[in-house]
Amino acid sequence: MNFFLTLPFLRRARCYALAGLAATWITVPVLAQSPAPSDTKAGPIAGAPAPDMVAQRVSPSAWYVEGLSALGSGANQNFISNAAFVVTATGVVVIDALGSPALAERLMAEIRKVTPLPITHVIVTHYHADHIYGLQAFKAQGARIVAHRAALEYLNSDIARLRLDASRQDLAPWIDDKTRLVPADEWIDGPKELTIGGVRFMLQPVGPSHTPEDLVIYMPHEKVLFAGDLVFRSRIPFVGQADSGHWIKAMETLLAFEASVVVPGHGPLSAEARKDMELTRNYLIYLRTTMGQAAKNMEPFEDAYRAADWTQFEHLPLFRVANRMNAYNTYLLMEREAP
- 205 phi and psi angles, rounded to 5 deg: -65, 140
| pLDDT value of residue 246 | 93
Percentage of the chain beyond pLDDT 90 is 70
- 86 phi and psi angles, rounded to 5 deg: -125, 130
42 pLDDT band, cuts 50/70/90, is very low
- Kindly give the pairing relationship between strand 261-266 and strand 224-232: parallel
| pLDDT value of residue 195 | 98
| pLDDT value of residue 50 | 56
Closest CA to 43 of 81, 5, 82, 77: 77
Choose the most confident range, by mean pLDDT, from 6-10, 175-179, 267-271.
175-179
The pLDDT of residue 32 is above 60? no
Higher pLDDT, 117 or 234: 117
Q: Rg of the chain over CA atoms, in angstroms?
A: 19
| pLDDT value of residue 225 | 96
pLDDT by residue (tens digit) across 78-93?
A: 999 999 999 999 999 9
The pLDDT of residue 29 is above 60? no
Strand order in the sheet with 186-188: 56-57, 62-65, 83-87, 92-95, 119-123, 144-148, 186-188
48 pLDDT band, cuts 50/70/90, is low
337 pLDDT band, cuts 50/70/90, is confident
| pLDDT value of residue 30 | 31
Give the mean model confidence (pLDDT) for residues 163-171.
Answer: 95
| pLDDT value of residue 174 | 95
CATH number of the domain bearing residue 216: 3.60.15.10
pLDDT by residue (tens digit) across 192-220?
A: 999 999 999 999 999 999 999 999 999 99
Give the mean model confidence (pLDDT) for residues 106-134.
Answer: 97
338 pLDDT band, cuts 50/70/90, is confident
| pLDDT value of residue 31 | 32
The pLDDT of residue 134 is above 90? yes
Range of the domain at 155: 3-337
d(CA 125, CA 93): 13
| pLDDT value of residue 273 | 79
d(CA 9, CA 262): 31
| pLDDT value of residue 46 | 44
Closest CA to 249 of 203, 315, 205: 205
Closest CA to 256 of 303, 197, 204, 293: 204
How many structural domains comprise the chain?
1
**C-beta of residue 244 within 8 angstroms of C-beta of residue 234:** no
What is the SS3 string spanning the chain? Answer: CCHHHCHHHHHHHHHHHHCCCCHHHCCCHHHHCCCCCCCCCCCCCCCCCCCCCCCEECCCCEEEECCCCCCCCCCCCCCCCCEEEEECCCCEEEECCCCCHHHHHHHHHHHHHHCCCCEEEEECCCCCHHHHCCHHHHHHCCCEEEEECCHHHHHCCHHHHHHHHHHHHHCCCCCCCCCCCCCCCEEECCCEEEEECCEEEEEEECCCCCCCCCEEEEECCCCEEEEEEEEECCCCCCCCCCCHHHHHHHHHHHHHCCCCEEEEEECCCECCHHHHHHHHHHHHHHHHHHHHHHHHCCCCHHHHHHHCCCCCCCCCCCHHHHHHHHHHHHHHHHHHHCC
Higher pLDDT, 115 or 52: 115
d(CA 217, CA 262): 10
Give the mean model confidence (pLDDT) for residues 62-81.
Answer: 92
Give the mean model confidence (pLDDT) for residues 100-127.
Answer: 97
The pLDDT of residue 17 is above 70? no
Mean pLDDT of the chain: 85
| pLDDT value of residue 331 | 95
d(CA 66, CA 110): 12
pLDDT by residue (tens digit) across 252-296?
A: 899 899 899 999 999 899 888 788 888 889 999 999 999 999 999
d(CA 204, CA 210): 14
d(CA 217, CA 264): 11
**313 C-beta neighbours (distance < 10 Å), count:** 17
36 pLDDT band, cuts 50/70/90, is very low
Closest CA to 130 of 96, 176, 84, 91: 96
The pLDDT of residue 97 is above 90? yes
| pLDDT value of residue 8 | 44
**C-beta of residue 315 within 8 angstroms of C-beta of residue 69:** no
Q: What is the pTM of this model?
A: 0.82
Please name the amino acid found at residue 99: G
The pLDDT of residue 71 is above 90? no
